[in-house]
Structure 1
Amino acid sequence: MARTKAFEPQKALDAALEVFWTLGYDNASLEVLLAAMGIAKQSLYDTFGDKRSLFMLAMQQYRRNTITSMQRMLATAPTVREGFAALLHGLAAETREQHERGCLLLSANLQRNLDDEAVASFLQENNDEVESVFCAALRQAQQRGELRAEADPQALARFLIVSVQGMRAMARLKSDRAALAQVADLALAALH
């Protein structure tokens, strides 16, 4: 008869995500991960695989969380421009601690070995999915007359992704809300 797990895998994964997000992959030792997750080494291997597999699962969880949040933000805003304003100005208004923490996926991209095809592929899939979400919202804005007809939704989506990533990198270096708000306003000026 199989034993039941003495821990909740989702809670353990959430704890691992927090460790990777705070420390990065290389600085997240197995000991720190196990302590945060509240599990033994064998439970980690039995449930999640090795540290790398756990990292990939944590990035998947982070991706689901952030994309769901962005979709909700864009879908519930009165206009698409207001949805993007909430996203960009929300990023600018984060606390110093949030700015310093940055984005798990952007950090993973900047810290990865260039020959790490699995992480590169995952990050490219994430980028493609975010681009698709942004592009769909911008096309909808065009159909409703909120965005000029000659605008290129795909190019604007890419521009907004780069704006978010640049703001994240800038915020991590120096948490300057006023400067980040200026960047947000300039990015939003493209949505007319």
Structure 2
Amino acid sequence: MARPREFDETAAVESAMHAFWDRGYEATSTQDLCAATGLGRSSVYNTFTSKKALFQRTLTHYSAQGLAGRKALLDGPGPTAERIAAMFGAVIDEELEHGRRGCLVVNTLAELGVPDDEIGAALRNDTEKQLALLGACAREGVLDGSLPAGRDPADVAEFLLSTISGLRLMSRRGASREAMHAVVGLTLAAVTR
């Protein structure tokens, strides 16, 4: 009879996510994952089957957390432009308060591109969900008048997501809070006028 697992799988995924986030996919060894999760090598492989499968799980976990937080901000009260500004403020605060690590998804895209496998599928899924969320917000903005009539919500979503990614990269290279807020100001001016 197999022994029952004696660890929290979600906590292990969370710990592995931080290891990958700190080092990147290629530079994170199985030993790094064992140290991060507190699991032995056999437990890592028996539970997650491979480093690649565990990484895909961490990307999915990271994406779900990020989308939930972003959705809470964008679905909040007030005009759309103010909610978008709050979202950008949260991105900057996260970066400066949590070690300027950037975004796990952006970092992975820079490291691996979009491979034709489960990792690529997780990256594409995150992008699609981000664009859908931002596009819905942009549609609301056109309806409530905080974004100009005739503005294409899909184009606005791409622009906003590109700015979020750019802010994450700015943070990794050590840009100041003021520099990041200046980019946000230019972005908001471009989107709302």
How high is the TM-score relative to the length of structure 2?
0.91
Q: Is the 2:80–2:144 contact (alpha carbons within 8 Å) kept by the matching residues of 1?
A: no
Q: Secondary structure at 2:192's aligned position in 1?
A: coil
Q: Which runs of 5+ in 2 are unaligned?
A: none
> Which amino acid in 2 is paired with 1:191?
T
Alpha-carbon displacement from aligned partner over 1:69-98 (angstroms, at most 9, x marks no partner): 111110114222122111212223345463
Q: Is the 1:135–1:157 contact (alpha carbons within 8 Å) kept by the matching residues of 2?
A: yes
Q: Using the alignment, how far apart are the partners of 1:42 and 1:56 within structure 2?
A: 19
Q: Specify the alignment match of 1:127 in structure 2.
A: 127
1:84 paired with 2:68, answer: no
Q: Is the 1:99–1:171 contact (alpha carbons within 8 Å) kept by the matching residues of 2?
A: no
Q: Specify the alignment match of 1:14 in structure 2.
A: 14
Q: Using the alignment, how far apart are the partners of 1:28 and 1:177 within structure 2?
A: 30
Q: Is the 2:131–2:154 contact (alpha carbons within 8 Å) kept by the matching residues of 1?
A: yes
Q: Specify the alignment match of 1:117 in structure 2.
A: 116
Q: Secondary structure at 1:52's aligned position in 2?
A: helix
Q: Specify the alignment match of 1:150 in structure 2.
A: 150
> Which amino acid in 2 is paired with 1:180?
M
Q: Using the alignment, how far apart are the partners of 1:138 and 1:128 within structure 2?
A: 15
CA spacing shift, 1:67–1:98, aligned 2, 3 Å:
same
Alpha-carbon displacement from aligned partner over 1:84-120 (angstroms, at most 9, x marks no partner): 1112122233454636311101010000166x21233
Alpha-carbon displacement from aligned partner over 1:100-157 (angstroms, at most 9, x marks no partner): 311101010000166x212333322211211110001111222233322211111111
Q: Using the alignment, how far apart are the partners of 2:158 and 2:40 within structure 1?
A: 43
Q: Specify the alignment match of 1:165 in structure 2.
A: 165
Percent identity between the two aligned chains: 28
CA spacing shift, 1:99–1:169, aligned 2, 3 Å:
farther
Q: Using the alignment, how far apart are the partners of 1:107 and 1:148 within structure 2?
A: 33
Equivalent pairs, count = 191
Q: Which runs of 5+ in 1 are unaligned?
A: none
How high is the TM-score relative to the length of structure 1?
0.92
CA spacing shift, 1:113–1:94, aligned 2, 3 Å:
closer
Q: How well do the aligned residues superpose, as a CA RMSD in angstroms?
A: 1.7
Q: Secondary structure at 1:149's aligned position in 2?
A: coil
Q: Using the alignment, how far apart are the partners of 1:89 and 1:14 within structure 2?
A: 24
